[in-house]
Amino acid sequence: MCKINGKKLAEIRKENGLTQAQLAKKIGISEAMIGFYEQERNEPSPENLKKICMILKIKQGEIEMFETDYNFLDSEGKLTSVLRRKDGFIRYTSPELTQKWIETKRTDSEQKMKTEIKNAFNSMFSFAGKKYIQINPTYINIPDWQRDTDNAKTTEIAENFENAKFDPIKVYVVNGMLFVADGAHRVVAIIKMNMLLPEDSQTKILVEVLDCDELEAARIFLGQKSGKKNMTANDMYRAGIKANVPEYVHFKELFEKYNIQISAENHLLDNPVGKVTPSSAIMRLTENNREMLENIICLMKKLHWSGSDKSAFILRNFQTIKKLYSNFGIEKVNEKLLANCKGAVYYESKIFPVKSNAEVYDILAEEIAK
């Protein structure tokens, strides 16, 4: 069996305009099994994983994960399962809200924190070329490019914490303050654990101090694409922008140029014409077929498909129009679609309900042939 990132599978499936039932039919398995894959309750066989990747036009590495050590984010224990299904439970919080929550748990002044951090550095020790200190977990800050916090999972970690299961949390230093590069969920979990203990019994944590700036820390975070971390498209995007990785920067430049809101961006555009999720497949289009993608975006804006509440700037639509351009030519496609397929009502009634790329292609090819 092959361990996969269920969230990523669901995300890519939706980008391809497929329901669970449609993907299941193409593979030859039950709809329920696709649901189990996406919930990470079951793992696909190597044969089914190959079929999934072929149908979704992705590489196995984009959803497959490899066990490297204790895998706390990619499993679901009983407590996590209960909390995630509890009415009113807030499953995820942004890095900004997590930072504010940590600040409410601090009992020391900023000056005392800096003094304690300085004392910790005076007691720093090295092992195997790495530097370590022990510190109060509330002294650690969460940068805004970190992943969203899974609140159910941090609660489960706190209630079942075993230090031996984890590598030390990695931090970097900015102006005498500590920021987490890897291990934000563990920071939150240990703070939750300490909240249940008397003050004199509360745990300090061992952290590895990285000799790097914030840019390099973001790159370290971004390098965790497989294995113990379950990273969403939004997680990758925020870190990619902070690390100034070209494919993420180019993606941001292109879509903001056309006033399209990127779902992972904390900064909200004024009156955006639509929204796009920063998937790896769309980023590849940005890098490899930028001019064609710009043509498609301009066409879709003229078609007013984004006037619908249903998302128009999705991978399925980009890929389909790209194929139409290849087969009929850009000018003919633009002319015919603008004449026959214009408007939010057309998109919402004719295109959005259709889930497969092939069906969308056939509908639009028929309009072009008129």
The 8-class DSSP code of residue 211 comes to: S
Task: Provide the token pair at 1.
Answer: 């069996």
**In the chain, what is the straight-line distance between the N-terminal and C-terminal CA atoms, in Å?**
49
Domains in the chain (CATH in brackets) are 6-62 (1.10.260.40), 78-222 (3.90.1530.10), 233-369 (no CATH)
Alpha carbon distance 63, 56 (integer Å): 11
Measured CA distances, 256 to 138, 288, 291, 303 (Å) = 36, 18, 15, 19
Per-residue pLDDT in tens (0 to 9) along the chain, 370 residues: 677 888 888 888 888 888 999 999 999 999 999 999 988 888 888 888 888 988 888 776 667 664 333 333 434 444 445 545 555 567 788 888 999 999 999 988 888 888 999 999 999 998 888 899 999 999 999 998 888 888 888 887 777 766 666 678 899 998 889 999 988 988 998 998 888 777 777 778 889 999 888 888 887 777 654 334 456 777 778 888 887 888 889 999 999 999 999 988 878 889 999 999 888 888 888 888 899 999 999 999 999 998 887 889 998 999 999 999 999 999 999 999 999 999 999 999 999 988 788 999 999 999 999 8
- Pair 262, 256: CB distance under 8 Å: yes
Q: How far apart are CA 34 and CA 88, in angstroms?
A: 26
Q: Which residue has the tokens 């550095």?
A: 121
Cα 274 from chain centroid (whole Å): 19
Torsion of CA 56, 279, 225, 58, to 10 degrees: 20
How many C-beta neighbours within 10 Å does residue 119 have?
11
pTM here is 0.56
Phi, psi torsion values for 308, nearest 5 degrees: -80, 155
- Within the chain, residue ranges assigned H as helices are 6-15, 20-27, 31-39, 46-56, 78-84, 95-104, 110-122, 151-159, 184-195, 214-222, 233-242, 246-257, 280-288, 290-303, 315-328, 330-340, 344-346, 357-369
